[in-house]
């Protein structure tokens, strides 16, 4: 009899522990991002966006009554370090993995998360990332296969350019963008007057800009990381190149504008996310971010913020914290602002983990991003 | 042809910075047999010191002055007294390793206390171009070149035309004899460290508006200047200048006419060729080893 009571007591203790784990224990989320190195701007904005969202959600009681606990690890903008950090993070059995932001780092870490059956919500934009059949990988922004055709169309329809110099950074992100945009230019009959590969972390762009001048294109398409964007914009101004400069988020982001100063004026680009978007929820996010961190975030701040709200909306849709069912639920899910205001814009995730929502065409005018066109959600 | 001229001018401007930094290598080597592998970080740090002063509300010119004085104290005086003097008695190799550790410490400290992200930095030279021989040459390139040339001319004049310079050279060439004839050798060596600190602060002021202020920016710069010093001649100030200018121009021409992807390899190839065929460098003098 005594053994039965003892067994009963043990079971009760174990069950209550399990119940605590189910209801009261924090939800562990791991973030691996570029907190130092060439992508420090990307990683730190991403991290700050995550922390802001976590703070907001925890202040309101968490997700399904459980607080969120995020760990941050530095990939040092190095794919090898990112892989080691992701492995370490996965060993801690997180609910969801966030990051990295660099496509090259996502490429080498995605198989690890998929093998562990953990959903990875990342910031990489290389087209190939979501085309490899990985069912656990989700974007927080458009992939190049969505954004580049829009840029090429703008170059053709609005700028009426017949020849374009393409400057790209020689990594997975840059190569992916270069391949898609040159294909689009070829399709539209636009000549690639110069095809210039640059290096991540490159400091001196004098030779590259001299080559652009020699090629005399109608426009220059620039697809390099933020700091390098600032450096090349300064060199372009220094060497007196006056043709339109067009790019993507990495050419017209807040950090680029801050670093390049006057040289950023006139640069145009397609951005999936911008704090200057004419969307009230985004303006409110911007105010909250500035209040907390005392600077205006670039798109990576928005991406990090949205990643956490993607976790919240998906978990609430499931009604339980289940990392194995998470990816299945997020595939095909539409998160509306009417249900989750902090998702900022209605968003739909397809079966590849790609995203569909509004996009924007912006121009830097007197040190500020000005939205010139709002591109609607496709579906 | 016009493109070539642009590339050469831009290369000379970058090379002038390398030259300023490379001169520091040769100065410290000549006077105290010190190879300072933190020389790149010595160029990075003054920019952050100036930014810190500006964040306190000081105008740019005052930040420059304070930055140069702080550089002299930290990278000249403190570097000599706290690291070089105690380590040198254990030999050149431990000292070299200590400077590598110092490079990491400076880099990590800047990352920790300032930011891992790049910051903009104001330029002392206004934006715009001037027309020379029908070519638009940027004021910034010319300014960098001019300041670097002035600094180097001032330094060579000091070394070759003044009593102080002669004493410094005597202290560098043979400290024992210099002491016998009454040269204050220790003071001369300290002066060399201070000159190096001012030169790196100048280099920092010139290059940071272009390269941006970032904790890791000393890596590339230190490496380029080290190669420049070896290629030009590690034991000659004029060699370091020639090496710096050569590396700047070769790097730019390689990026334009060979490949941007392999531009980093070109100075290394130049370095290997020099070590193989003229180990004393372009303008250096062969030193005999005493046994």
Mean pLDDT by 10 residues, chain B (291 residues): 75 88 88 89 96 94 96 95 90 91 94 87 82 74 84 87 89 85 89 93 90 89 91 84 91 82 82 87 67 45
- Summarised one tens digit per residue, pLDDT across range A360-372 is 999 999 998 899 8
Residue A200 pLDDT: 83
Residue A21 pLDDT: 46
Rounded CA separation B279/A346 (Å): 67
Residues 12-31 of B with CB under 8 A from A: 14
Q: Encoding tokens for residue B233? A: 């001649």
Rounded CA separation B170/A38 (Å): 45
Residue B127 forms contact with A (CB below 8 Å): yes
Locus of tokens 């004393």: B280
Beta strands in A78-125 (DSSP E): 96-98, 119-122
Number of cross-chain residue pairs from A and B with Cβ atoms under 8 Å apart: 94
- Contact by Cβ (8 Å): B167, B178: yes
Tell me the percentage of chain A whose pLDDT exceeds 90.
69
**Strands A137-139 and A119-122, how do they pair?**
parallel
Residue B39 forms contact with A (CB below 8 Å): no
Residue A212 pLDDT: 92
Cα–Cα distances (Å) from A313 to A143, A283, A320, B4, B13, in that order, read 22, 21, 11, 58, 55
Task: Measure CB to CB from residue B260 to each of A199, A230, A261 and give the nearest one.
Answer: A199
Residue B140 forms contact with A (CB below 8 Å): yes
Q: Which residues lie closer than 8 Å to A129 by C-beta, 6 or more apart?
A: A103, A106, A107, A110, A122, A137, A139, A143
Residue A178 forms contact with B (CB below 8 Å): no
Q: Encoding tokens for residue A288? A: 């909250």
Q: Do B117 and A255 touch (CB under 8 A)?
A: yes
Q: Do A230 and B212 touch (CB under 8 A)?
A: yes
DSSP string for residues in B22-38? HHHHHHHHHHH----TT
Distance from CA of B116 to the nearest CA of A (A): 5
Question: Is A137 strand, coil or helix?
Answer: strand
Question: Is A152 strand, coil or helix?
Answer: helix
Instruction: Find out whether the peptide bond into B13 is cis, omega within 30 degrees of 0.
Output: no
Q: What is the DSSP letter of A140?
A: S
DSSP string for residues in B138-206? EHHHHHHHHHHHHHHHHHHHHHHHSHHHHHHHHHHH-HHHHHHTT--HHHHHHHHHHHHHHHHHHHHHH
Residue A15 pLDDT: 47
Residue A23 pLDDT: 56
pLDDT interval class at A156 (50, 70, 90): very high
Residue A11 pLDDT: 53
Rounded CA separation A194/A164 (Å): 7
Who has greater pLDDT, B185 or A315? A315
Q: What is the ipTM of this complex?
A: 0.77
């Amino acid at each position: 009899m005594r053994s039965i009571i003892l067994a009963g007591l043990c079971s009760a203790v174990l069950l209550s522990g399990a119940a605590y784990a189910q209801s009261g224990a924090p939800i562990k989320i791991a973030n691996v991002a570029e907190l130092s190195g060439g992508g420090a701007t990307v990683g730190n904005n991403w991290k700050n966006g995550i922390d802001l969202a976590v703070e907001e959600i925890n202040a309101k009681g968490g997700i399904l009554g459980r607080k969120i606990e995020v760990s941050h690890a530095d990939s040092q903008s190095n794919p090898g370090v990112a892989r080691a950090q992701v492995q370490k993070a996965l060993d801690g059995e997180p609910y969801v993995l966030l990051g990295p932001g660099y496509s090259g780092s996502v490429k080498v870490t995605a198989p690890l998360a998929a093998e562990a059956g953990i959903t990875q919500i990342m910031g990489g934009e290389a087209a190939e990332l979501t085309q490899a059949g990985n069912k656990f990988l989700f974007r927080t922004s458009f992939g190049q296969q969505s954004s580049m055709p829009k840029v090429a169309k703008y170059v053709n329809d609005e700028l009426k350019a017949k020849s374009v110099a393409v400057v790209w950074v020689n990594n997975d992100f840059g190569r992916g963008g270069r391949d898609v945009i040159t294909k689009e230019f070829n399709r539209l009959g636009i000549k690639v007057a110069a095809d210039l590969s640059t290096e991540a972390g490159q400091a001196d762009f004098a030779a590259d800009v001299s080559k652009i001048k020699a090629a005399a294109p109608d426009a220059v398409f620039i697809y390099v990381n933020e700091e390098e964007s600032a450096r090349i914009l300064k060199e372009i101004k220094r060497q007196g190149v006056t043709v339109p400069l067009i790019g993507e988020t990495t050419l017209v982001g807040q950090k680029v504008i801050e670093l390049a100063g006057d040289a950023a004026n006139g640069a145009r680009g397609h951005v999936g996310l911008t704090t200057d978007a004419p969307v009230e929820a985004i303006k409110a996010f911007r105010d909250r971010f500035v209040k907390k961190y005392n600077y205006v975030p670039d798109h990576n701040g928005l991406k990090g913020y949205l990643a956490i709200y993607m976790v919240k909306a998906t978990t609430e849709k499931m009604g339980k914290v289940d990392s194995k069912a998470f990816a299945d639920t997020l595939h095909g899910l539409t998160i509306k602002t009417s249900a989750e205001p902090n998702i900022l814009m209605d968003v739909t995730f397809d079966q590849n983990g790609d995203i569909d929502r509004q996009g924007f065409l912006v121009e830097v005018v007197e040190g500020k991003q000005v939205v010139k066109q709002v591109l609607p959600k496709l579906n | 042809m016009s493109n070539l001229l642009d590339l050469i001018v831009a290369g000379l401007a970058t090379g002038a910075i390398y030259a300023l930094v490379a001169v520091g290598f040769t100065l410290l080597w000549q006077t105290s047999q010190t190879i300072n592998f933190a020389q790149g970080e010595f160029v990075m740090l003054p920019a952050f010191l100036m930014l810190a002063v500006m964040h306190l509300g000081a105008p740019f010119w005052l930040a420059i002055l304070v930055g140069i004085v702080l550089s002299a104290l930290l990278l000249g005086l403190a570097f000599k007294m706290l690291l070089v003097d105690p380590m040198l008695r254990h030999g050149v190799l431990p000292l070299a390793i200590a400077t590598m550790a110092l490079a990491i410490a400076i880099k990590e400290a800047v990352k920790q206390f300032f930011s891992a992200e790049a910051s903009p930095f104001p330029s002392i030279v206004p934006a715009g171009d001037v027309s020379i021989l029908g070519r638009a040459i940027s004021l910034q390139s010319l300014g960098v070149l001019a300041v670097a040339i002035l600094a180097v001319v001032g330094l060579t004049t000091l070394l070759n035309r003044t009593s102080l310079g002669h004493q410094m050279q005597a202290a560098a060439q043979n400290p024992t004899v210099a002491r016998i004839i009454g040269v204050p050798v220790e003071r001369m060596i300290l002066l060399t460290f201070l000159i190096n600190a001012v030169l790196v602060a100048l280099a920092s002021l010139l290059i940071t508006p272009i390269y941006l202020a970032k904790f890791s920016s000393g890596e590339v710069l230190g490496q380029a200047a080290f190669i420049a010093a070896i290629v030009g001649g590690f034991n000659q100030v004029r060699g370091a200048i020639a090496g710096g200018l050569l590396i700047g121009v070769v790097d730019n021409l390689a990026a334009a006419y060979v490949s941007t992807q392999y531009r980093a390899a070109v100075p290394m190839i130049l370095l290997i060729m020099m070590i193989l065929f003229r180990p004393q460098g372009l303008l250096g003098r062969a030193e005999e080893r005493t046994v």
